[in-house]
Amino acid sequence: MTVTERQQRAYVDAQAADMRVAVELETDEGMTLNLGPQHPATHGTLRVIARLDGEQVVWADISPGYMHRGYEKLCEVRTYPQVTTLVNRIDWLGSFANEVPFILASEQLMGIEAPPRARYIRTILFEMARVANIVLFLGDLGVQLGAVTPAFYAFRDREHVLDQIESVTGGRFHPNFDRIGGLKDDLPKGWIADTKAVMQRMRMFCDEIEDLLFGNEIFEARTRGVGVIPADVALSYGLSGANARGSGIDWDLRRDTDVGLAHNEVDWRVWTHPDGDSFARCWVRLQETREATKIIDQLCDGLPGGPIMAKVPRIIKVPEGEAYVATENPLGEMGYYIISKGDIGPFRVKIRSASFSNVSVLPWLLRGVYVPDIITILASLYFILGDIDR
């Protein structure tokens, strides 16, 4: 054997051992196709192993973990303020939203309530993270299906949201702005007026996308009836967020729980869709983005004055206890289960990330679909690799 042949054999063996799945190149029962880890359609390094019969999937398996950074272990050696920086990077497109449940859980254990102004601004930034995240999803949706143009509009308009986030927090992608007891800084002058203009612009973008993409017959033909998840399956797999609401489950943590954000003080509605197919999920997200812009507008209008930070000791020691707080993040339900022993850092943090549960339904869902439908389903379930792999 030449060197290259030996190397190739070794590589194939390593891959097989890796997955405990024999990676056959040709068999009689069908072809094994590897989507990933590097692939344009998996938002990051997700590996989908599909056994195909022609163009139809016989079975599929998902191999996540190419981006596993060991968040839960890392959180155990950090102090509470340091965890905020770390946790930004789980869902990196809507990163402020990752900090919020952790901060709220710590505040719950400490018995501290953030002042109303901080609560409002926290909610505004939370919803802006949602807008930034889902706008990119809408652009990316087009690209996955072949329409390359909406992606550019999405990125162009998303820049305005990121500009607003940057002018408050200093960071476009990783704000690292939430603190136990409040926020780091107050809003700059003129921010509220600018934000309302940006939100108006995002509403126009949503209308544009609805026209361009959702009104397109080809889009409807590609997404309607594809990847139907019945409601009971969705619940048993732990699907949350727009994936659950797209299957008709009327559940939104912003409305149904009171964790310390200001959603109860504004007027908004929850969108559901009974179909449970890819179109339903995408449509629900579009409506949610519009709704988020309205929430931000109302919050900006009713912003109370006052301090931005409650009185917290300089060295934060959270008293002993356990708390779980989950919020309706852009991707779904994200929660932190903090076990504290009265130390300056948490004893154990269990991060419940939305995409982990969302993606776990894929082996069940991908049986019997066509290869192009795999892409549609991956696009409509919308996960972020950092969220799956933590």
Which residues ranging from 306 to 325 are in contact with other proteins (CB under 8 A)?
Answer: 320-324
364 in contact with other proteins (CB under 8 A): yes
31 beta partners = 52
Count of residues near other proteins by CB under 8 A: 97
Residues 327-346 that bind other proteins (CB under 8 A): 333, 335, 337, 339, 341, 345
- Judge contact between 291 and 389, C-beta under 8 A: no
Q: Among 126, 137, 279, 356, which residue interacts with other proteins (rule: CB under 8 A)?
A: 356
Nearer of residues 50 and 187 to other proteins, judged by Cβ? 50
Query: At its nearest, how many Å lie between other proteins and the CB of residue 373?
Result: 7
Stretch that binds other proteins, among 90-98, 122-130, 146-154, 164-172 (CB under 8 A): 146-154
Coil, helix or strand at residue 24 = coil
317 residue type, one letter: K
27 in contact with other proteins (CB under 8 A): no
238 in contact with other proteins (CB under 8 A): yes
Residues 46-85 that bind other proteins (CB under 8 A): 55, 64-65, 68, 70, 72-74, 76-77
Residues 106-135 that bind other proteins (CB under 8 A): 108
How many whole angstroms separate alpha carbon 176 and alpha carbon 167? Answer: 13
Residues 264-293 that bind other proteins (CB under 8 A): 264-270, 272-274
248 in contact with other proteins (CB under 8 A): yes
Which of 51, 63, 57, 48 is CA-nearest to residue 17?
A: 63
163 in contact with other proteins (CB under 8 A): no
40 in contact with other proteins (CB under 8 A): yes
Nearer of residues 193 and 256 to other proteins, judged by Cβ? 256
Nearer of residues 26 and 189 to other proteins, judged by Cβ? 26
Q: What is the DSSP letter of 318?
A: P
Q: What is the DSSP letter of 370?
A: B
Coil, helix or strand at residue 49 = strand
Residues 172-231 that bind other proteins (CB under 8 A): 212-213, 216, 218-219, 221-222, 230-231
Nearer of residues 183 and 284 to other proteins, judged by Cβ? 284
Who's near 28: CB < 8 A, 6+ residues apart? none
How many whole angstroms separate alpha carbon 319 and alpha carbon 343? Answer: 7
Stretch that binds other proteins, among 89-97, 196-204, 250-258, 311-319 (CB under 8 A): 250-258
Sign of CA dihedral 38, 40, 46, 47: negative
Vertex 12, ends 8 and 16: CA angle to 5°? 170
- 79-83's contacts with Cβ under 8 Å and 24+ in sequence apart are 79/316, 79/344, 79/345, 80/106, 80/180, 80/316, 80/318, 80/344, 80/345, 80/346, 81/179, 81/180, 81/316, 82/345, 83/345, 83/346, 83/349
18 in contact with other proteins (CB under 8 A): yes
Q: Among 257, 309, 312, 317, which residue interacts with other proteins (rule: CB under 8 A)?
A: 257
Q: Among 9, 53, 146, 302, which residue interacts with other proteins (rule: CB under 8 A)?
A: 146
236 in contact with other proteins (CB under 8 A): yes
Query: At its nearest, how many Å lie between other proteins and the CB of residue 168?
Result: 25
Query: At its nearest, how many Å lie between other proteins and the CB of residue 146?
Result: 3
How many whole angstroms separate alpha carbon 386 and alpha carbon 335? Answer: 15
Rg of the chain taking only CA atoms, in angstroms: 22
Stretch that binds other proteins, among 17-25, 84-92, 117-125, 181-189 (CB under 8 A): 17-25
Vertex 334, ends 329 and 338: CA angle to 5°? 140
